[in-house]
Each structure stands twice: as structure tokens, then as C-alpha cells.
Structure 1
Amino acid sequence: MKLQHLNKKRLILIDLDGTALRKDGQTIHKKTLEVLKKASSEGHTVCIITGRPHRATMRFYKQLGLTSLMTNFDGAHIHDPYKRRFKRVVLPISEQVVFEIINNPIIKQYVTNILIESYNKAFVMKKDEFIENFFHLDDVDDDEYFIADPYENWEGPATNLCLFVSNEDEKDIITRQLEKFKNTVKIQSGNVYGNLSNSSTLMITLTSKIVNKGFVARILAQYYNKDIRDVIAFGDQMNDYEMIKQVGYGVAMKNGTTDLKNVADGITNLTNDEGGLGEYLERLLNGEEV
């Protein structure tokens, strides 16, 4: 793959976990950090599009020195963290549907825990260290985090609903029940949002059906007056699929899924842990055939 028209200032869309972040989910490789900051300083626009909530994204946004729009929950929350000149876009699951799901008698029977999030608050039914760490529930002071019974205390729509289960059989049982809500929610497993370890808890993650990163790529391209064919995007998992297909230069990480690589225009030479995004983007912006 080789960039056409090197003089153009690009919109560069980056996923976090498995892409810009190393496999620890906590650090950006030195090469990736250096190249992304340089791209911004040269007039390119770098935007984060992640499944993470904004509280788990802000420190990387700050580390990269960004002032661009940020997208969280795979597109359910689009906002301008600093300047706040862009009216916040939230694409939620309605309150009615949230309560219909958690009150479904079979779902209620098998879930071990429930996490419900809006763009700035989170409710967890039972305290759980894995859930707190994985979803970064204590990362930002201005977000509200409660350990409380959602059946009694939750109000309003949700950008994210996670159901936790004990085993794969129970996960299948709940997933079958969720077919009743296929017109309003999209069902994903938790591993699209990060690097799960052996200590991970089985989960089913629900977001609004219309939310996907490809949809957001078009919004950001319009906002920054960029032809979608000139946009560069990096991802590693199937929640990046629509984004990689949508843009002109969609790049899958070497450590990414095979299905994503099959639709990508290019594949990084190195993994996320080796600074693959930075190495590939640098060569791309230099006009090299990658």
C-alpha cells in the first residue's frame, strides 16, 4: 500500500487496545507515540475511536497531545473533551429496553453481575475487582461510579450494558434470550474492548444496534472536511471491521484477527507490542510502499 497525494493533511483514526496500546493495555509503544505526535504536529488530525469509555481514554488522549474529537463505546459517544465546541452525540439503548433485558426472567436467573453505563456514569450490581479494572471505573474523577442494585437505582438510557456469567453454557442461554432485542441492540463479547487474561470474567456486551466505527469514520471525515477515501485507520478486532472497510486506507494490525486482515488494505509489519502502528504510519506518510 502506498499513499497518493502526500501533500494532503490526513485524518488518522486509531483504535486503542491491541492497536495503539501495547498488550498490557496501559502503555503506548515509544515508536507509536512518537509518530502519532509528529503526525499531529505536521497538521494531520489524529482521532481515537475506541470501545473504551472516555474515562479510560483520557490519559492516552492527553499523552498524545490531542485536541480532536474523541469517540467511545465504538461510536455511542462522540465528543470534544477540551474545547467542547462539538455538541456531544450519544447513541444509547433506551431505558425501557435496558429494563426489559435485565428483567428477562432467564437472563435474571443466570447473570452473576451487571454493569450499566451512560457516557458519564456507571452502575455495577456487585463489587468486582476485575470489572473495576477492566472498565477503568475509578479512572476519572468527574465520572460517577456506583455499586448499587440497577433494578432499583438505574435511570435513563445506557451507552453500554454488560451481562456477566459463570460459564459458556450460561452465556449461550442468555445470548439466545437476547435475540428478542435484535432490533435495538448489538451483541458483542468483552474481548473486543481489551486484552482479557486468564482471570477474566465471561461477559456479553450490548450497545445500540446502529453504533459502529464505520459510521463514526464518516462523521469525523465530514466534520474535518476530509474525503473518506483519504482517511487512514488502524484496528485489530472485529469491532474495527466497518471502520477498516469504510476508509481509503484501512490497516489491520499484525496481531489482529484474520477476518479483519481479509478486508484491510494493509497489514502492519510489527505487532502492537512492537510499535507496529507507528512503524507503518511513519513509512506510509513518508510515501513508501508498505
Structure 2
Amino acid sequence: MGIKLVAIDIDGTLINSKHEITVKTKEVIAEAKAQGIKIVIATGRPYPGVVKILKELNLEEQGDYVITYNGSLVQETDTQKAIASHGLSHDDFIEIEAMSRSLGVNLHTIDSEKIYTANQHISPYTIHEASLVNMPLYYRSVDQMTDDIEVVKMMMVADPEFLDTAIAKVPTWFTDKYSVSKSMPFYYEVLNKQANKGLALIELAEYLNIPIAETMAIGDNENDLEMIEAAGKGVAMANAVSKLKAVADLETFSNDEDGVAEAIKKYVLK
């Protein structure tokens, strides 16, 4: 029983500390695709933030898929048709925004095309996100965020130590209602309860009639936990956080040592 689908996180996993995909990793991914194995990018980034990578890896053809917004959206890459979609309502937005203010952290809201923030003093982490994912950033007061805006996910942002202190104060009812995870030391993501990379992987595998036992997932951070647990083989990068290593089946080299390429070569290629 071989691996038929490999889901790969981007930041800290696919790309190295120079934000590059190495030649070796590109070659191994190309070889896997040539053997008929589905290579699926699974990221917290929105679609605009992954287009360049999909093109670089030749994953824009018919039959290619991508998991974006930490599992809120599963799409065909050639048409961008949604296979599965789990967003947030306007009431959710109001509730999450109020929670961020009570915790004293900044917040930004993302739809399919734009990033919005109601913080007049815009966080440098919000600016970093807009630059990273190639999306325009707009200031909008809470009352300007009308219910026709289709929110996909929201992100609480702050300096890591302050954010960790704030997260510790988040009430249980909130984490029961929403899917929450840290994607970076300064990002705490809030999504629909049905949205995480693990559920997205299961949805895509079912859509493609691939047994979940014949999937592999590779990641490094807390927002990869459910994906690593769901996959038939869950692989943690050497640079992964301890929580992820604790649930992974296997460990590979770091993102600066072609860890993704090594994992695919060892466990996937025929």
C-alpha cells in the first residue's frame, strides 16, 4: 500500500529560511507528480499567497489541488473551483473582534481578496501578512464590516510573549466554538470549527477516493497538528514545534536540509 497523496505545509516546511524552494525539493516533487502521486500544498495562506509557489512547482494543471486558509478552503488549482469551503459569519466576526479587544491584541480579517483591520495602529505583523500573501490591506471600522463580506478566517496578532499570555486567557467556550491554532509565534488563527488542515485533507482524500491511510502530511507548526494526526503517515520537520513532533509518526530533516525532499524520497517514491 503506497502513498497516493502528499500534503505539504509551506512556511517552515516547504521553503527554507531564505524563503526558497530548493532545486532538490523541486526535482523530488516533480518526480512524485510524474508517478501519479497527488502533491497538495496545505497552508494557512490565502490563494493569492500561494499562486507563485504553485506555478514554481507546476501544480496548476488539471487534477491539481490546494488547501488554503488553514483548511477553510479546498480548491482545484487550474479553475480555483471550491471542493470544500468553511467560512465565518458576520455574527462570528463581531464575536471574534470583541474577544480580540478584550484580550488587548490586534486582529485582522481575511476574505478571498482582501485583508481588513479595525486597528487604527496597524500591527507590523498584519502588514507582514499582507506582504507575504500578496493581498491588499484596508482599514475598516467594525461598523463598516458589513455582512456581505464573506469572511474566511481571522487572525489575532501580537508580539509572541504577549500573544501567548493573551491566548492563555481565551475562555473554553471560544475554543469549543471555533477552530484555533498558532501558525507562527505571532499569529493566532481563528476559523470555522469545521476548518483545519486535517479535516481538509480528509475531505480532499474522500473527494479523490484515496484512502486516508494512503496519504502523507508534512508540517512544522501547531496549525499542522490535525493534518499530521489525520494522515496515514504524519511527518514532522526537524525544526517542528514539540507539540507536532509528539503526534507525528515520523521525523525528517529540517527545512534548511531538504526535509520535504528526503521524506518523499524515503516514504513515497517507487
TM-score by length of 2: 0.84
Q: Secondary structure at the match of 2:131?
A: coil
Q: Aligned with 2:169: secondary structure?
A: helix
In structure 2, do the counterparts of structure 1 residues 243 and 103 end up closer, same or farther at CA, with 3 Å as the change threshold? closer
Decide whether aligned partners of structure 1 residues 21 and 34 sit closer, same or farther in structure 2, where only a CA change above 3 A counts.
same
Among 198, 219, 233, which residue is 1:235 paired with?
219
How far 1:73 moved relative to its partner? 1.5
| Aligned CA distance change for structure 1 residues 151 and 176 (closer, same or farther; 3 Å) | farther
User: Which residue type is aligned with residue 89 of structure 2?
Assistant: S
Number of the residue aligned with 1:13: 7
CA contact (8 A) 1:98 1:157 kept: no
User: RMSD between aligned alpha carbons?
Assistant: 2.7
Residue 16 (structure 2) aligned to one of 22, 29, 33: 22
- Residue identity in the other structure for 2:78: Y
For residues 286 and 80 of structure 1, what CA distance do their matches in structure 2 show?
Answer: 24
Structure 2: tracts of 5 or more residues without a match: none
Query: How far apart are residue 74 of structure 1 and its match?
Result: 1.4
For 2:141, the equivalent position in structure 1 comes to 149
Q: Distance in 2 between matches of 1:173 and 1:13?
A: 31
Judge conservation of contact 1:186–1:206 (CA < 8 Å) in 2.
yes
Indicate yes or no: 2:90 matched with 1:92.
no
Q: Tell me, in whole angstroms, the C-alpha distance in 2 between the residues paired with 1:113 and 1:129.
A: 10
Between the aligned partners of 2:167 and 2:237, the Cα distance in structure 1 is: 32
Alignment partner, residue 213 of structure 1: 197
Matched letter for residue 180 of structure 2: I
SS at match of 1:273: coil
Letter in 2 for 1:44: I
Larger radius of gyration between Structure 1 and Structure 2 = 1
* Length, aligned pairs only: 264
> Is 2:83–2:204's contact at 8 Å kept on the other side of the alignment?
no
Change (3 A) 1:63 1:285: same
1:32-181 equivalent positions in 2, closer than 5 A: 32-66=25-59, 67=61, 68-84=64-80, 86-103=81-98, 107-108=100-101, 111=104, 113-125=106-118, 126=120, 127-136=122-131, 139=134, 145-155=137-147, 156-165=149-158, 168=161, 172=165, 176=169, 178-181=171-174
**Counterpart secondary structure, 1:280:** helix
Per-residue CA deviations over 1:20-50 (Å, capped at 9, x if unaligned) read 11123x2112211111122112221111111
The equivalent residue for 1:265 is 249
Percent of aligned pairs sharing the same letter? 25
Are the counterparts in 1 of residues 153 and 191 from structure 2 also a CA contact under 8 Å?
Answer: yes
> Which secondary structure does the structure 1 equivalent of 2:179 belong to?
strand
* Distance in structure 2 (CA, Å) of the matches to 1:213 and 1:284: 21
1:94 deviates by 1.5
How far, CA to CA, are the matches of 2:241 and 2:124 in structure 1?
28
State the Cα distance separating 1:132 from its structure 2 match.
2.3
CA distance in 2, matches of 1:238, 1:167: 14
CA distance in 2, matches of 1:159, 1:251: 27
TM-score (norm 1): 0.79
For residue 63 of structure 1, report the CA deviation from its aligned partner: 0.6
